[in-house]
Amino acid sequence: MAKNNFYAVRIGLKPGIYKTWAECQKQINGFSGAVYKKFVTEADALDYIQEKETQVQNTETNETIDKAIEALDEETLIAFVDGTYSKESSLYGYGIVFINSIGEKETLYGSDDNESYIESGNVAGEIEGVKVAITHALVQGYKKIIIYYDYEGIEKWATNHWQANKAISKDYVKFIEEMKYSLNIEFKKVSAHTGIEYNEAADQLAKKSLVQRGIKTKAEGTLSVSGIDKDEFSGIFEILKDLNPKVEVTEKTEIENRNVYVICLNKDRIVVTLYENGSSLIQGKQSSLLEMFTTLIVELLPNDKEVIELLNTYNYHLVSIHKGDLDTAFVELLPDFDLAKTNNQTLVNTLKQAIYNSLVDGERPDYTDLITPVFRALEFYLYEILINKGIIDKYDGKHGFNCFDTADKSVYFLQTGHEPKFNSNPEQLTYLNKLYNLYHNYRNIYSHWDKTGFTETIDTIEDARKTIKEHLNKFNEYYLIF
C-alpha cells in the first residue's frame, strides 16, 4: 500500500495542506519565495503551517506594542510581567520589564518562598510580579500602569471574572482593590513563549530570579556565596575603595576558569574567587575590612534567612542573633516602615543589618564599621526624595548631592530654586534638610580619610548603637511624612 504524504505550503499561491504532490505544485510553481515541506502525518504538517501563522501574529503583536509605547504619556508606565517556579528549590519568581514614555527600560526580578503561595507554582510568581510592578509604578508617581501578562488569571481575578478561592488569589484581589483607588490599572494579554520581545525578556528575568542567591559556611574563615555575578562584585570593590581609599583590589589574572581577587587594607586581607557557574568563595580572617565587605554582600541577599546566616557566620561578637529577635527589633525601631513606599529588597537587607549591628555585643578596637549600613540607607532615602521630586535625574549617571547650599558650612539647606516643589507639603522640605545634615555630619566624617591619613572612629559599642538608632528613628519619620 502506498504511503500517504501531506504537503504543507507555508508560503505560496494558496497556503495550506495538500495530499498530493501535484496539488502542491499548483501552489508553488511560478511563485517567488515559496516555502513548503512534505510530512508523513497531517498533524506535523499543521504544526508547520501554524508556526508561520504564529510568527506573523507575533510580528503584528510586537509592532502593536511598539506603537503603544510610542503613544505613552509621561503619567503612564508599561510593565511586562512573567513568573516561574522551581520545585527543586521550592521557590517561585518573577521578572518585570518596565518601559516609560521616552522609551527608557528598567527591569526588576525577585523570588520568594511564602508557604501559603508556593503550592500555586508559576501562578505565585505571576501574581507576585504584578504586585511588585503596581507598587513600583505607584511609588514612582505614575497615574496609570498597563500590564502585559500571559496567565489569564492575572486579569480575571482582578476583574472578578474568576472567583478567588485560595489564599494567594484572595490576597491578590484584595491588593488590586486597594491599589485601584490610587492607580489606573489596565491589563493586556499576550501569548506565552511565542516571541513577544518584552515578554520573553521578562521570562528570562523570572528564570534568573531562581538562580538563588545564598551563602553556605565552609571551613573556618571561608564562605561560599551563590548568585552574585562578577559585575556585582566589581561594584562592591568600587564601593569599598570609595569608603576607604586605602583599600587595594588586585586581580590574579594568570588563573584559568575563574577570577581571583585579593582585597587588602593595611594588614587585613580577603581573597574572593569567582567561578564560571555563578558561585564564589570568600576567604579571610575577621577584620573591619571583612565586616565592610559583608555589609555590601548582605544588600544582595534574597531573604532574611540568608542575611541572618551570613551575619552570624562572620560575627565575632559575643552573641548570635535569631531571626525572631531581629524581626522584633525591626518593628520596634521602624514601627511605621511601609514596604509599599520603599519596595526595595536591598534597602530591607541594609536596614536589617543595621538593626542586627545594634544588637551585637563584645569588645573590639573600633566599632565604626557597625554604622556603615545606616549611612548606605541614608543615601537611599535622600535619592528617593530628590528623584521623586524631580530634583535629581535618575538616569544622568551622576552621583552626589549638589543641590544643597550652606551659609556657614555648618548647616545645609536645599537650594532655593528647588523649594517650590515642596510648597504643598513644607514638612517634607524640613525633613529633607534634616536628613541631608545628618548625612553630612556623620557619613563624611566616619566614611572617609583625609589626606594626612586621619579618620574619625567610634570607640565604644554604646556610641555605635546610639548612632544606629538615631538614623533609624529619622528613617521611620520618612514613612509618616511621605
Cα 102 to Cα 66, 136, 337, 387, distances in angstroms: 12, 18, 32, 17
Residue type for position 19:
K
Percent of the chain with pLDDT over 70: 80
Q: How confident is the model at residue 289 (pLDDT cuts 50, 70, 90)?
A: confident
Query: What's the confidence (pLDDT) of residue 60?
Result: 45
Q: How far apart are CA 262 and CA 260, in angstroms?
A: 7
Q: How confident is the model at residue 57 (pLDDT cuts 50, 70, 90)?
A: very low
Among 56-65, 130-139, 222-231, 438-447, the least confident range? 56-65
Among 164-178, 295-309, 419-433, the least confident range? 295-309
Grid cell listed for 395: 538616569
Q: What is the DSSP string of 428-448?
A: HHHHHHHHHHHHHHHHHHHS-
Model-level pTM? 0.44
List, for residues 159-172, the tens digit of each pLDDT value: 988 888 889 999 99
- Average pLDDT of 264-280? 80
Q: How far apart are CA 356 and CA 223, in angstroms?
A: 19
- Average pLDDT of 141-152? 89
pLDDT at 1 over 50: no
The H or E element that residue 145 is part of is strand 144-149
Q: How far apart are CA 166 and CA 144, in angstroms?
A: 28
Q: How far apart are CA 20 and CA 4, in angstroms?
A: 8
Grid cell listed for 419: 523649594
pLDDT at 454 over 60: no
Query: What's the confidence (pLDDT) of residue 53?
Result: 45
List, for residues 209-223, the tens digit of each pLDDT value: 776 555 444 444 566
Q: How far apart are CA 195 and CA 286, in angstroms?
A: 50
pLDDT at 303 over 80: no
Q: How far apart are CA 416 and CA 404, in angstroms?
A: 9
Residues 6+ apart with CB under 8 A from 349: 298, 299, 300, 301, 307
228 or 105: whose pLDDT is higher?
105
DSSP assigned state of 252? E
Q: How far apart are CA 56 and CA 59, in angstroms?
A: 5
395 or 114: whose pLDDT is higher?
114
Mean pLDDT of the chain: 80
- Average pLDDT of 61-86? 86
Query: What's the confidence (pLDDT) of residue 121?
Result: 86
Where do the domains of the chain lie, and which CATH numbers do they carry? 6-68 (3.40.970.10), 72-209 (3.30.420.10), 213-316 (3.30.160.690), 320-482 (no CATH)
Residues in the chain: 482
DSSP assigned state of 256? T
Q: How far apart are CA 83 and CA 109, in angstroms?
A: 9
Percent of the chain with pLDDT over 90: 21
List, for residues 240-260, the tens digit of each pLDDT value: 888 788 889 988 765 666 788
- Provide the CB-side half-sphere exposure for 173 (13 A, CA): 15
List, for residues 173-187, the tens digit of each pLDDT value: 999 998 888 889 999
Query: What's the confidence (pLDDT) of residue 351?
Result: 92
Q: How far apart are CA 294 and CA 307, in angstroms?
A: 10
The H or E element that residue 176 is part of is helix 167-179
Q: Which of 217, 470, 464, 475 is nearest to 357 (CA)?
A: 464
Residues 6+ apart with CB under 8 A from 433: 412, 413, 414
Residues 6+ apart with CB under 8 A from 59: none
From first CA to last CA, the distance across the chain in angstroms is: 81
289 or 333: whose pLDDT is higher?
333
Q: How confident is the model at residue 317 (pLDDT cuts 50, 70, 90)?
A: very low
- Average pLDDT of 59-81? 83
